[in-house]
Amino acid sequence: MLTFGVTVLPDPPYTRLIEVLQQAEDQGFEYGWTYDSHILWQESYALLAIAATQTKTIKLGHCVTNPGIRDPTITASWYATTQDISNGRMVMGIGRGDSSRRVVGLKPVKVDEFERRLRMIKDLMNGRKVEWNGKELELAWVKEELPEIPMHVAGYGPRALGVAGRVGDGVIIQLADPQIIQWIMETARRSAEEEGRDPDALQCIVCAPSHVSDDLADAREQVRWFPAMVSNHVMDLIERYGENSDEIPAALTDFVKARKFYDYKEHSRVGAKHGEFVTDEICDRFCVLGNPEQISAKLRELESIGVDQFDIYLMTEGQDETLAAYGKELIPQFTGVAA
């Protein structure tokens, strides 16, 4: 069954993030996420703790945080603490770090270190003992009656997806192209199987903007920033694997050939100049656009290839209208089938 989430920027005023998450909860969304980029926006860890006290049922977390900008023991302790505050509603999304690290002059966390830190965080935040820096650590105050905090891992390349398969409870995929999604999940599940884990238990979480409108041309203008954001990660893959590598599908790498630059000051902003190279075709492939019938058809396609959650990146105009359209016309189509 396809479930639904929404990702909201931690933009000032901070009350807006709380308001949107409350709206999403009322409209039937099961997950409420936010970015973690403490220079570009307000500190999301503070805001999610407030959201935990101002919502009742929606699950909360980062899409995504990273294990390198803060000491990873702090990240683990914060999630465990907020699991208590929220009465068991936290869910972690975590990646190697893009804007959060690059804006302050750091590169994404190296893959081997990424895996080492994720293994520790997953155990520590869930009350298990860990060995770290030559010390045995335990959050002895973690409540046993609360559910496990799941860890969903974001990645595009084979090595990062290997970490997702070996360590994660799910894979966070920042695009809605079925062909690429299937390749990503096959890659992660292969690693899960090699690790002796159940590959079918690995959840698939797809994140992308969705603009509900009969005006497809305008909808595309709302989302050109998104494939441009994805191109940051693709450029990293090309640097590592080469432009024509057999390890990465051309469906993921071809579109960046026309890319000229990226300005983090316009990160995830409608009308960002660095998105001008993105074609209409890529907007349609990577996002979920159109009238309710067109959007429903795309969501059905995603569901048919095994997507577990569709998470709207709500960085477009008409946010309240998007939430209302999903709550009234789209989410009931999927929950109704399950019932």
Q: What is the pLDDT of residue 27?
A: 98
Sign of the four-CA dihedral 76, 79, 82, 86: negative
Which residues of the chain have a pLDDT value below 70?
A: 336-339
Alpha-carbon gap, residue 321 to 35, rounded angstroms: 21
State how beta strands 130-132 and 135-137 pair: antiparallel
- 279 close to 306: Cβ distance less than 8 angstroms: no
Closest to 91 measured CA to CA, from 64, 129, 114, 66: 64
CA angle 184, 225, 295 (to 5 degrees): 65
Q: Which stretches of 251-314 are assigned E, i.e. beta strand? A: 288-290, 309-313
Q: What is the pLDDT of residue 123?
A: 99
Q: What is the pLDDT of residue 140?
A: 98
- 161 close to 190: Cβ distance less than 8 angstroms: no
| Radius of gyration, CA atoms only, the chain | 19
Q: What is the pLDDT of residue 121?
A: 99
- 238 close to 282: Cβ distance less than 8 angstroms: no
Helix (H) or strand (E) holding 285: helix 280-286
The token pair at 105 is 């002059």
Calculate the CA 174 to chain-centre distance.
6
CB atoms inside a 10 Å sphere around CB 244 = 9
Alpha-carbon gap, residue 321 to 138, rounded angstroms: 45
CA angle 204, 85, 130 (to 5 degrees): 65
Closest to 26 measured CA to CA, from 57, 63, 59: 57
